[in-house]
Amino acid sequence: MAVSSIAIIGSGRVAGALARSFHRAGLRISAVISRNEKTAADLALTVGSISGSEYRIPPGTSIVIIAVPDSAIGHVASGLKTDGDTVVVHTSGSTGIDVFPDGIPGYGVIYPLQTFTEGRELDMKQIHYFTEASSKDVHSLIDEVTRLLGPHIHHIDSESRRVLHLSAVFVSNFVNHMLYAGMSIAGEHDIDRMVFGPLIRETVQKAIEIGPVAAQTGPAIRNDISTIEKHLLMLSFSDDLSNLYRVISDSIIKQGTESYNV
């Protein structure tokens, strides 16, 4: 069965990125549905579609993509009114495929492994997409529409996707928080965050190319206790930063005795 059109439920960052990418690929967006009527209308205008706040899907829609907060997926899926052949998918990394009610005949997941921020355009073809489906035929349909986004498609079950999402929290969300912590310390001394650009790019690039074990540097991997104690003294103004520094340093030191080549 060919994909003729899709409907998007949600109007946030992920929903917007997917809707615009599908639209650029020439796929018709039959509707953009969200409780936030203004953002739904704005997104619908961008992709040449209609908007609404009721979970009533236009007839003939091939796939409904639910891109809402994880806690709302089950509620949205239970309230859908669709044609009998419409496939329903969600985009969550941490929510299983079993969230869909029995009344939906075909369902699955399209999980894009990426961080989405309002106002930033992404090259969607570089993203890796992880799909799961209720049947082989549904999986073929989901992969067909996902190929419009990009070529990097992987089949993965719900439990493995949860592990992937947990890993992503470490490599993206936690890394970003560490950048915030470091830049905040520098900012207190009027050091421009832009000076860290080359350092950040090289750190990430070599972690990808040679792996984080070989890429690790710094006082903790050298077990340089003198420098670590000086840093902790400098951080005495903040219990949170001191604790964060100590926990991460201890982890690197412990891991260094097991894996790292100093």
The domain limits of the chain are: 5-156, 161-258
Show Cβ contacts of residue 7 under 8 Å, excluding neighbours closer than 6 positions: 29, 30, 31, 32, 33, 57, 58, 61, 63, 64, 65
Reference 106, options 125, 86, 132, 121; nearest CA is 86
Place of tokens 């209720």: 134
Q: What DSSP designation does 104 have?
A: -
Q: How many residues does the chain have?
A: 262
pLDDT value, residue 259: 63
Does the structural domain 5-156 have CATH classification 3.30.310.50?
no
What is the chain's Cα-based Rg?
22
Question: What is d(CA 103, CA 262) in angstroms, rounded to the nearest whole number?
Answer: 57
More confident residue, 1 or 107: 107
Band of pLDDT at residue 103, cut at 50, 70 and 90: confident
User: Taking the chain, what is the end-to-end CA distance rounded to the nearest angstrom?
Assistant: 56
On whether the CB atoms of residues 86 and 74 are closer than 8 A, the answer is no
Q: Is 198 exposed, middle or buried (CB count within 10 Å of its CB: 0-12, 13-18, 19+)?
A: exposed
Residues 6+ apart with CB under 8 A from 63: 3, 6, 7, 86, 87, 88, 89, 141, 142, 145
Question: Which pLDDT score, from 0 to 100, does residue 216 have?
Answer: 96
Q: Distance between CA 154 and CA 129 in Å, rounded?
A: 6
- Matching residue, tokens 């946030």: 12
* Model confidence pLDDT, tens digit, residues 220-248: 999 999 999 999 999 999 999 999 999 99
| CATH topology identical between 5-156 and 161-258 | no
Tokens representing residue 122 in the block: 């992404």
Beta bridge partners of 28: 5
Confidence (pLDDT) at 260: 47
- What pTM value is reported for the model? 0.93
Q: What pLDDT was estimated at residue 2? A: 80
Q: Give pLDDT tens digits for 85-102.
A: 899 999 999 999 999 998
Quick one: fold of 161-258?
N-(1-d-carboxylethyl)-l-norvaline Dehydrogenase; domain 2 (1.10.1040)
